[in-house]
């Protein structure tokens, strides 16, 4: 095992060097003549001095400590950590896509614009919407973009609607985006079946209602069966229906938000459409709208005019730009590659397998963990650790114990309306053997809770760092290397 003693500062030796630079061919600059005195260091920074091989080993060791979908199962519900095919990377690296500049004249980047235009059209078909913008760089930014269009739509009609309805099972970004867009949010409680309580919803719908934001299947993995009635209630009151499609893994090729009656949809390409996800890397949250909202879409719009692809900035009702240039282009290339390699029948198969995997795993685990809802699951499912909590072991402890077996834990304590929630999304890209092995470990942990709870309460045991003081880590984070404070 690698300890801090092996880390880069400890193995540093004065004068050791990992690269050879050519002799400088410009004159040395006397910094004291160029910079104000207070900006000049008195001493050289204390950087580690190591050989190239030591440096390679250091970064390789760090990368091995990371858990990613390329080195293990990652059933993080709602976040969709499915495999990202490597062909996406090959295509994104093609010179014609990677060595272009956003300020190039349109005529010289017709291929790139064609790809964006075709991706817009594909996503419109997938969502059942009439037009799509690719600009937003995350799901949350897509939500905000959609809500700014909701606002512009009502204001154009001379109405100042201020209320956005959000079910209690919604992702936290929904109320956050609505608030940032200037709305007031009202929480709609779920019923005992985990679905929107339609009677309760009706009580809150009025002529101040700008929109309802809904995830369907919702974050409990359950399909909102009353969606047609819900859409009618909202539309009759003059409101709009917003679809949180961050995770669209259950509906590809099966149905569309358009068919369900939604007016606006955002998708997370970094969840459903296999672009890299996590580590704060670039994402993409395209937004689709139906006809009545097209005038409000962000500019520039990518359009086709007389066989040429052009950037149209001339839309008087547009909410404007929401992102520099045209979105995270490299990510859009990857999602396009995925959609085109799968084709319509491949995408339908994705949803069928995602749903099958979720229900298979749910059935294997139901004898051991409380399963709060009867309705069949879609691409993900929730369990409750409330049986285990009665024995003094929390869902958090079981999540930590999973680390000992090399699994990334599922999402925990979300959605908020399930006690001690575990939210599991196996994804379509895993094999039956992986699902079986994970189920075996979960069952073993449930047995440990009954027979040897300490092993769960003190987990993880095999990771480089054990159980952290999470409050202290959040309140007093130590993000800088300090030799004296590192335990060896
Ligand atoms: C992930 C997620 C979001 C937010 O997407 P980001 O890209 O993280 O901003 C919104 N809603 C749901 C249901 C999600 O799973």
Cα angle: 266, vertex 339, 319; to 5 degrees: 30
Looking at residue 487, its pLDDT comes to: 46
Question: 303 pairs with which residues across the strands?
Answer: 310
Chain centroid to CA 322: how far?
19
The answer on pLDDT for 484 being more than 70 is no
- Is 219 near ligand 1, meaning CB less than 6 Å away? yes
- Is 221 near ligand 1, meaning CB less than 6 Å away? no
Chain centroid to CA 93: how far?
23
Cα angle: 89, vertex 352, 395; to 5 degrees: 85
Residue 208 in domain:
yes
The answer on pLDDT for 488 being more than 50 is no
Q: State pLDDT tens for residues 201-241.
A: 999 999 999 999 999 999 999 999 999 999 999 999 999 99
- Best residue among 247, 322, 411 to mutate for probing ligand 1, ranked by most atoms within 8 Å of CB: 247
Residue 72 in domain:
no
- What would the two tokens of residue 77 be? 């519900």
**212 and 280 share a domain?**
yes
Residue 71 in domain:
no
- What would the two tokens of residue 45 be? 């920074």
Nearest to 427 by CA among 222, 220, 249: 249
> How far apart are alpha carbons 457 and 449 in whole angstroms?
9
> How far apart are alpha carbons 225 and 201 in whole angstroms?
15
pLDDT band at 47 (very low <50, low <70, confident <90, very high): confident
Give the ligand 1 atom nearest the CA of 142: 9
* Cis, peptide link before residue 325, omega less than 30° from 0: no
Ligand 1 center to residue 151 CA distance, Å? 21
Percent of the chain exceeding pLDDT 90 equals 83
- What would the two tokens of residue 57 be? 């080993």
Those residues with Cβ within 8 angstroms of residue 11's Cβ, 6 or more apart along the chain or in another chain:
48, 50, 54
Residue 331 in domain:
yes
pLDDT band at 482 (very low <50, low <70, confident <90, very high): low
Residue 17 in domain:
yes
The answer on pLDDT for 114 being more than 90 is yes
74, 83 contact by CB (below 8 A): no
Ligand 1 center to residue 344 CA distance, Å? 24
Chain centroid to CA 238: how far?
31
**Which of 113-117, 323-327, 467-471: highest mean pLDDT?**
113-117
- Is 215 near ligand 1, meaning CB less than 6 Å away? yes
**318 and 392 share a domain?**
no
- What would the two tokens of residue 472 be? 């202290």
The answer on pLDDT for 95 being more than 60 is yes
**398 and 465 share a domain?**
yes
In this prediction, residues 111-115 reach a mean pLDDT of 97
**314 and 363 share a domain?**
no
The answer on pLDDT for 37 being more than 50 is yes
> Number of structural domains, the chain?
3
Q: Whose CA is nearest to atom 4 of ligand 1?
A: 139
pLDDT band at 486 (very low <50, low <70, confident <90, very high): very low
In this prediction, residues 64-69 reach a mean pLDDT of 88
> 153-185: b or e for each residue (b if 16 or more CB lie within 10 Å)?
bbeeeeeebebbbbbebbbebbbebbeebebeb
Looking at residue 279, its pLDDT comes to: 64
Q: State pLDDT tens for residues 243-299.
A: 999 999 999 999 999 999 999 999 999 999 999 986 656 899 999 999 999 999 999
414, 78 contact by CB (below 8 A): yes
pLDDT band at 2 (very low <50, low <70, confident <90, very high): very low
**372 and 317 share a domain?**
no
Looking at residue 483, its pLDDT comes to: 61
Question: 377 pairs with which residues across the strands?
Answer: none
| End-of-domain residue from the set 341, 359, 374 | 341
**269 and 404 share a domain?**
no
Cα-Cα-Cα-Cα torsion 105, 107, 111, 117, nearest 10 degrees, comes to: 80
- Give the domain range for residue 404: 350-474
**323 and 363 share a domain?**
no
Q: State pLDDT tens for residues 286-298.
A: 999 999 999 999 9
**130 and 273 share a domain?**
yes
- What would the two tokens of residue 462 be? 């095999």
Q: State pLDDT tens for residues 352-406.
A: 999 999 999 999 999 999 999 999 999 999 999 999 999 999 999 999 999 999 9
Predicted model pTM:
0.91
- Is 224 near ligand 1, meaning CB less than 6 Å away? no
> How far apart are alpha carbons 21 and 373 in whole angstroms?
64
Q: Whose CA is nearest to atom 15 of ligand 1?
A: 78
**267 and 149 share a domain?**
yes
How is residue 341 annotated by DSSP?
Answer: H
Helix ranges, 128-193 (H): 139-156, 173-180
């Amino acid at each position: 095992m690698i300890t801090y003693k092996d880390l880069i500062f400890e193995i540093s030796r004065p004068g050791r060097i990992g690269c050879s630079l050519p002799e400088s061919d410009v004159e040395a600059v006397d910094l004291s003549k160029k910079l104000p005195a207070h900006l000049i260091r008195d001493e050289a920074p204390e950087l580690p001095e190591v050989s190239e091989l030591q440096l390679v080993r250091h970064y390789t060791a760090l990368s091995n400590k990371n858990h990613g979908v390329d080195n293990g199962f990652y059933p993080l519900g709602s976040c969709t950590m499915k495999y990202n095919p490597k062909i996406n990377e090959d295509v994104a690296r093609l010179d014609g896509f990677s060595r272009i500049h956003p300020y190039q004249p349109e005529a010289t980047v017709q291929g790139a614009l064609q790809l964006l235009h075709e991706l817009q059209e594909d996503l419109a078909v997938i969502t059942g919407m009439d037009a799509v913008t690719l600009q937003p760089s995350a799901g949350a930014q897509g939500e905000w973009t959609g809500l700014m269009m909701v606002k512009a739509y009502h204001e154009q009609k001379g109405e100042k609607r201020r209320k956005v309805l959000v079910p209690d099972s919604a992702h936290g970004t929904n109320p956050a985006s609505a608030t940032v867009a200037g709305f007031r949010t009202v929480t709609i409680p779920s019923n005992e079946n985990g679905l929107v309580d339609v009677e309760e919803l009706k009580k809150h719908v009025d002529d101040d209602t700008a929109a309802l934001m809904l995830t369907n299947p919702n974050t409990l993995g359950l399909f909102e069966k009353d969606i047609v009635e819900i859409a009618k209630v909202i539309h009759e009151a003059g409101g709009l229906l917003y679809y949180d499609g961050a995770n669209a893994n259950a509906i590809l090729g099966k149905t569309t938000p358009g068919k369900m009656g939604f007016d606006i949809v955002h998708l997370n390409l970094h969840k459903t459409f296999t672009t890299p996800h996590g580590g704060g890397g670039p994402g993409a949250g395209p937004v689709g709208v139906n006809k009545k909202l097209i005038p409000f879409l962000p500019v520039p719009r990518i359009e086709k005019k007389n066989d040429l692809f052009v950037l149209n900035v001339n839309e008087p009702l547009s909410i404007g730009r929401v992102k520099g240039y045209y979105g995270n282009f490299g990510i859009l290339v990857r999602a396009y590659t995925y959609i085109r390699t799968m084709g319509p029948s491949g995408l339908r198969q994705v949803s069928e397998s995602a749903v099958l995997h979720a229900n298979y795993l749910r059935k294997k685990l139901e004898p051991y963990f409380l399963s709060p809802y009867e309705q069949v699951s879609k691409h993900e499912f929730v369990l409750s650790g409330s049986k285990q909590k009665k024995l003094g072991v929390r869902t958090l402890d079981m999540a930590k114990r999973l680390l000992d077996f090399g699994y990334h834990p599922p999402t925990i304590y979300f959605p908020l309306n399930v006690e001690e929630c575990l939210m599991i999304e196996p994804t379509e890209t895993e094999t039956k053997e992986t699902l079986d092995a994970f189920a075996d470990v979960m069952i073993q942990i449930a047995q440990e809770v009954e027979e040897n709870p300490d092993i769960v309460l003190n987990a993880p045991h095999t990771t480089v760092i054990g159980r952290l003081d999470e409050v202290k880590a959040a309140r007093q984070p130590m993000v800088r290397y300090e030799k004296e404070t590192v335990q060896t």
